[in-house]
Structures are given as structure tokens and as C-alpha cells.
Structure 1
């Protein structure tokens, strides 16, 4: 069994991702105080691109697949927008954290992520397998919104 087939390992990766996401906003915001907001976003993406390239080379063991360009050409147009979405996310963090704080900013973002993720599941957007938006998910959504309100208030 491959390591990524292990549910516990994948859950651990998600925890690491959550910590990284919460840290990223605060770190990027601090860099923005020293370099300016636009330059800090640029620096973040240049360093991120270099890191991603290193991961890619490790993943393919230094040899990209021969049909890579063919496969890339088959991707739907919207599959190419991830970098734009990532830039919007980073810029929003850089702008919002100094005003709202890391906790409130992250709470709002995580709540919006979870709510829209349920919408994606329910309607199968982006080719994601259908998963119904149940009453329980609705109650959880209401709870999330209440949690954000408490975090923002206190």
C-alpha cells in the first residue's frame, strides 16, 4: 500500500496543511510590512514556484513524462486558474490580517472554504463526485458561522 493510500497519513497531511495555511497568512503579512504588499505576494509565489519545481522533479525522479504536453493540453481551461486563485488568497491574507488579525481572517476564510466546499460536493462542480448537502451539513455550517462570529467578537 502506498503511503498516500493511508487515511491516517492523509489526515495528518491535512493537519499540517491547516497549520501551514494559518501560518502562511501571518508570515506573508509580516513580509508585506517590510517589502510592500505587492512585492511580498510576488516573493511568496517565486519561492513557492521554486519549491513546487523541486517537488515536481522529485515526484518524476528527474524525468518528466513523455506525454506531459499532450496531457496538459487536455486540461479544461478552468484547471489553469489555480495560480490566480492562490494569488488572490495570498493577497487577501496580506491585506486582511493587519486589520482583522490572524484568527479572525483565518476563521472567515476557513468558514468560506468549508461552505463552498459543501456547495462543490453537492453540485459536483469541477468534476468532484457528488456528496449531498444534508441537514447535518447545514447544522455544521450554521455552527461554523457562529464560531466565526465568536472569534471575530472576542
Structure 2
């Protein structure tokens, strides 16, 4: 059994991802103070691209698949927008954390992320195969999220 088939390990990875995301915003905003906001975003993506390349080379063991170009041409147009969306995210974080604080920014982002993720699940957007209806329980959870954001932002 692969580690990624273990739900507990996947939860652990998600916790690390959450900590990394919260830290990343603060680190990016701090770098923006010294380099300027635009250059900060560029540095973040350059170092991220390098780290991703190292991971990819480990994953493919230094030998890219022979049909890589063919596979990439089959990707839908919107699959290519992840880098742009990531840049928008990083730039927004760099601009807003100094004004609102890490907790408020993270709360708003996580709230928006969860609500839109529920919409994606409900309407099976972007090729998501699993249908998860936006039930009354998810609606109540959404209301709770919005209330939580309000409390975090106020206090």
C-alpha cells in the first residue's frame, strides 16, 4: 500500500499544507518589504518552479514519459491557468497581509476556498468526478465559516 492511499497520512499532508500556506503568506509579505511586491512574487515563483522541477525529476526518476507532449496537448485550456491563479494568490497575500494580518487574510481565503470547493463539488466543475450535493448541512457550515471569519477579523 502506498503512503498516499493512507487517509491518515493524507490528512497529515493537508495539515502541513495548511501550515505552509499560512507561513508562506507571511514570508512573501516580508520579502515584499525588501524587494518590492512585484519582484517578491517573481522570486517566490522562481524558487517554487525550481523546487517543483526537483520533485518532478525525482518522480519521473530523471526520465520524462515519452508521450509527455501528446498528453499535455490533451489538457483542457483551463488546466493551464493554475500558475496564473497561483500568482494572483501570492500577489493578493503580499498586498493584504500587511494591512489585515495573517489570521484575517487566512480566514477569509480559507472561507472562500471552502465555499467555492463545495460549489465545485456540487456542480462537478472542472472535471471533478465525485458529486457532493450542497446540502443544508454544508449551508450551515458555510454560515458558520462566515461567522468565524467575522470573529477572527474583529478580535
Bin the TM-score by the shorter chain: over 0.9
Gaps of 5+ in 2: none
Q: What is the distance in 2 between the residues matched to 1:59 and 1:142?
A: 41
Instruction: State the secondary structure of the residue aligned to 2:119.
Output: helix
Deviation string, structure 1 residues 37-64 (Cα, Å, up to 9, x no partner): 0000000000000000000000001100
Instruction: State the secondary structure of the residue aligned to 1:46.
Output: helix
Alignment TM-score, normalising by the size of structure 2: 0.99
Gaps of 5+ in 1: none
Does residue 1:107 correspond to 2:97, yes or no?
no
Alignment TM-score, normalising by the size of structure 1: 0.99
How many residue pairs get matched?
A: 154
Which portions of structure 1, spanning 4 or more consecutive aligned residues, are displaced by more than 6 angstroms?
none
Partner of 1:92: 92
Partner of 1:3: 3
Does residue 1:140 correspond to 2:137, yes or no?
no
Instruction: State the secondary structure of the residue aligned to 1:66.
Output: coil
How far has the Cα of 1:130 moved from its partner? 1.5
Partner of 1:130: 131
